[in-house]
């Protein structure tokens, strides 16, 4: 029950954020004197509506977004009445149109920053200084987590590693007296400066007794670890060839907190820093979308779902439901914040029918008019949106197909963050 309540709550928060997106367009448009004739939450048949002033407000049956109708977004709009022509959006200065069209994304960014602020003073924000990927982890200090058991065969897929079962053995590092939190400084007399050098040094060593120099509580000591041979793939290539290498039964850890809580004042810059961190990672995620399409398709056809593949609102809602079910609301809000940042940035891409496409055309017209004026040539006028319709339809088709793909993957083979 908690899962479904959480999923529904997350879907509702997204619907509210999208409705506020459209509200941003409406408020700024009205402030500049543009005529806004409709503001609706949802699509499809109208459940109810009322008119206040010149704007009709209402709720529609399909809760998958919303819309705001501003008169005369393009010169080609044919539903502009003669008396409304002076207030047509396309006639306003380019900077005003830019503010109106970007207001939706700005709303998403504001929601993300406010959400990050309240996370910072309540449940805390993720410590973004910690390594976020394998490459960063390799460069981190060689502080170790000491396991209890080692699988020596990659064919051992049992749920639990139990010494003496399927070739599993007790971890040599633990038997040698190493403890979680020890900082390794040398292996076999060879200094190691980070975790990457530690794993390289262990794998390069022969199986058998090997000296590990470590620091614990500020004191340096040495332990003899009886390295064993086990099947492993290359560290940088999990799908690479399997070979036998020396292992100790350790992995990377840190003594730094995973979550940081802030005061009411300290949360202000912290929320900004965390939001900017999400902006940077959203750009990286968008750049990787094309290469993730095959993995999405493969997850539908039976392969294991890559946790790094894109998710839809359906997938995000499932994760939100899991977070509430498992009692970790911070994950719920972190996904909500991340999704708002991503939607805000994606909507600013210079592609029609996105808001960023309208902004790009407005500034293209302005720059082109300026150049023609500089060269004493007649103003070429406005861009003909009808000529851009093939590109617009292509974007809608590709975006629609990608949405269907992600939704299907999220239903058939969803990403789960709790194993």
| Tokens coding 416 | 């789960």
d(CA 394, CA 213): 61
What is the spatial distance between Cα 148 and Cα 85, in angstroms, rounded to a whole number?
75
For residue 75, give both structure tokens. 């010169």
Catalytic residue among 22, 197, 322, 365: 22
Query: Are the beta carbons of 320 and 9 closer than 8 angstroms?
Result: yes
Encoded tokens for 397 = 């088709």
Q: Which helix (H) or strand (E) holds 41?
A: strand 36-52
DSSP-assigned letters across all residues of 132-174 = -SHHHHHHS--BEEE-SEE---TT---SS--TTSTT-EE-HHH
Tokens of 271: 């929320």
Phi, psi of 401 (to 5 degrees): -65, -40
Residue 22 annotated among the catalytic residues of the structure: yes
Contact 248, 227 (CB under 8 A): yes
Q: Ramachandran region of residue 143, left (φ > 0), alpha (ψ -120 to 50) or beta?
A: beta
For the beta carbon of residue 92, count every other beta carbon within 10 angstroms: 19
Rounded CA separation 334/150 (Å): 34
Pairing of strands 169-170, 183-187: unpaired
Separation CA 205–CA 210 (nearest Å)? 8
Which residues are catalytic, by number? 22
């Amino acid at each position: 029950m908690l899962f479904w309540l959480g999923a529904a709550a997350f879907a509702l928060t997204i619907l509210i954020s999208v409705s506020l997106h459209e509200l941003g367009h409406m408020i700024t448009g009205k402030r500049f004197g543009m005529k806004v004739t409709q503001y609706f939450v949802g699509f499809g048949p109208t459940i109810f509506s009322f008119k206040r002033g010149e704007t009709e407000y209402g709720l529609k049956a399909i809760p998958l977004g919303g819309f705001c109708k501003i008169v005369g977004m393009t010169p080609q709009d044919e539903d502009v009445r003669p008396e409304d022509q002076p207030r047509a959006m396309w006639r306003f200065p380019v900077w005003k149109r830019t503010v109106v069209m970007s207001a939706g994304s700005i709303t998403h960014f504001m929601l993300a920053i406010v959400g990050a602020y309240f996370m910072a003073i309540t449940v805390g924000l993720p410590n973004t200084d910690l390594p976020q990927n394998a490459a960063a982890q390799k460069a981190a200090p060689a502080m170790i987590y000491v396991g209890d058991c080692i699988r020596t065969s990659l064919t051992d897929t049992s749920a639990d590693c139990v010494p003496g079962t399927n070739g599993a053995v007790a971890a040599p590092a633990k038997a040698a007296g190493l403890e979680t939190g020890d900082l390794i400084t040398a292996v076999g007399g060879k200094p190691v400066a980070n975790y990457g050098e530690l794993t390289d040094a262990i794998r390069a060593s022969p199986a058998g007794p090997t000296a590990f120099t470590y620091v614990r509580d500020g004191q340096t000591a040495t332990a003899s670890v009886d390295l064993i041979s086990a099947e492993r793939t290359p560290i940088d290539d999990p799908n690479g060839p399997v070979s036998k290498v020396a292992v100790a039964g350790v992995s990377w850890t840190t003594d730094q907190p995973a979550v940081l809580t802030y005061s009411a004042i300290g949360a202000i810059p912290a929320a900004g820093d965390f939001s900017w961190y999400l902006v940077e990672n959203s750009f990286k995620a968008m750049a990787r979308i094309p290469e993730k399409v095959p993995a999405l398709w493969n997850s539908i056809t039976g392969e294991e779902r890559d946790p790094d593949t894109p998710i839809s609102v359906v997938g995000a809602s499932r994760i939100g439901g899991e977070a509430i079910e498992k009692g970790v609301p911070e994950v719920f809000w972190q996904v909500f914040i991340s999704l708002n940042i991503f939607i805000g940035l994606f909507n600013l891409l210079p592609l029609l029918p996105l808001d960023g496409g309208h902004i790009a055309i407005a500034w293209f017209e302005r720059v082109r008019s300026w150049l023609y004026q500089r060269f004493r040539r007649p103003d070429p006028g406005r861009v003909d949106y009808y000529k851009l319709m093939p590109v617009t339809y292509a974007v809608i088709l590709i975006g629609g197909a990608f949405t269907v793909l992600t939704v299907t993957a999220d239903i058939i083979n969803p990403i789960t963050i709790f194993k």
